[in-house]
Amino acid sequence: MTKNTDIRVPDGYFSDLQERLLTIPEAKSPRRVHLAPYFAYAASIAVLVLTGTFILRRTAVTLEEESSSEWSYLSYLAQSLDPDGATYDWKDTPLEDQDIVDYLVNDGVTLEELVSYEENH
Amino acid sequence: MAPVQTNEEIFNAIVRDNSEKLYWHVRRMVNSHEDADDILQDIFIKVWTALPSYRGEAQPGTWVWRIATNETLNFLRREKVRAAIRLSSVDAEMERRIMADPYFNGTAAEREFAKAVAKLPDKQRQVFIMRWWDELPYEQISEISGTSIGALKASYHIAREKIEAALNLKADELSK
What is the percent of chain A with per-residue pLDDT over 70, rounded to a whole number? 30
Q: Do A1 and B104 touch (CB under 8 A)?
A: no
Would you state the torsion angle of the CA atoms of residues B28, A89, A76, A108, taken in this order, to the nearest 10 degrees? Answer: 50
Rounded CA separation B80/B93 (Å): 10
Note whether residue B149 is domain-resident. Answer: yes
pLDDT of residue B82: 87
Are residues B150 and A95, on separate chains, in Cβ contact within 8 Å?
Answer: no
With bands split at pLDDT 50, 70 and 90, how would you rate the model's confidence at A70?
A: very low
pLDDT tier for residue A66 given thresholds of 50, 70 and 90: very low
Q: pLDDT digits over A23-47, tens only?
A: 999 987 755 445 566 666 677 777 7
Position B151 in a domain: yes
- B40–A100 CB contact, under 8 Å: no
Worst-scoring range by mean pLDDT, A26-35, A51-60, A79-88, B110-119? A79-88
- In order along its 176 residues, chain B shows pLDDT tens digits of 667 789 999 999 999 999 999 999 999 999 999 999 999 999 999 999 999 988 777 888 999 999 999 999 999 999 988 888 888 888 888 888 999 899 988 888 889 999 999 999 999 999 999 999 999 999 999 999 999 999 999 999 999 999 999 999 888 888 87
Residue B153 lies in a domain: yes
Decide if B50 contacts B10 (C-beta within 8 A). Answer: no
Q: Which residues of B touch A108 (CB under 8 A)?
A: 120-121, 124
pTM: 0.69
Smallest Cβ–Cβ distance between A100 and the set B8, B19, B148 belongs to: B148
Residues 6+ apart with CB under 8 A from A6: B104, B105, B106, B107, B110, B111, B114
A74-110 burial, b at 16+ Cβ within 10 Å, e below that, comes to eeeebeeebeeeeeeebeeeebeeeebeebbeebbbe
For residue B156, being part of any structural domain is answered with yes
Give the length of chain B.
Answer: 176
Contact B67, B61 (CB under 8 A): no
Q: Name which of B6, B27, B40, B48 to mutate to probe chain A: the one with the most chain A Cβ atoms within 10 A of its Cβ.
A: B48
CB contact under 8 A, A21 and B19: yes
Instruction: Supply the CATH number for residue B24's domain.
Output: 1.10.10.10
State whether residue A12 sits within 8 Å of chain B by CB: no
Q: Which chain B positions have a beta carbon within 8 Å of A97's beta carbon? A: 148, 150-151
| Residue A32 contacts B where some CB pair is shorter than 8 Å | no
Report yes or no on B96 lying in a domain. Answer: yes
Q: What is the pLDDT of residue A37?
A: 62
pLDDT score of A62 more than 70: no
A50-89 residues touching B, CB cutoff 8 A: 74, 77-78, 81-82, 86, 88-89
What is the SS3 assignment for B102? coil
Of A81, A91, A97, Cβ closest to residue B150? A97
Domain range list for chain A: 35-86, 89-121
Question: What pLDDT band is residue A82 in, cutting at 50, 70 and 90?
Answer: very low
Residue B1 lies in a domain: no
pLDDT at A16: 96
B19 or A69, higher pLDDT = B19
Contact B117, B163 (CB under 8 A): yes
Q: Which residues contact B124 (CB under 8 A, 6 or more apart)?
A: A107, A108, A109, B155, B158, B159
Cα A31 to Cα A64: distance, rounded to the nearest angstrom: 41
Which residues of B are less than 8 Å from A7 in CB distance?
Answer: 27-28, 101, 103-106
Residue B2 within a domain: no
In-domain check, residue B79: yes
Between chain A and chain B, how many beta carbons pairs sit less than 8 Å apart? 129
**Cβ contact, residue pair A90, B146, below 8 Å:** yes
The total of structural domains in chain B comes to: 1
CA distances from B173 to B30, B115, B170 (A): 27, 15, 5
Closest residue on chain A to B23 (Cα): A14
* pLDDT at position A80 over 60: no
DSSP state of A61: P
Domain that holds residue B109: 7-175
Q: Do the Cβ atoms of A21 and B123 come within 8 Å?
A: no
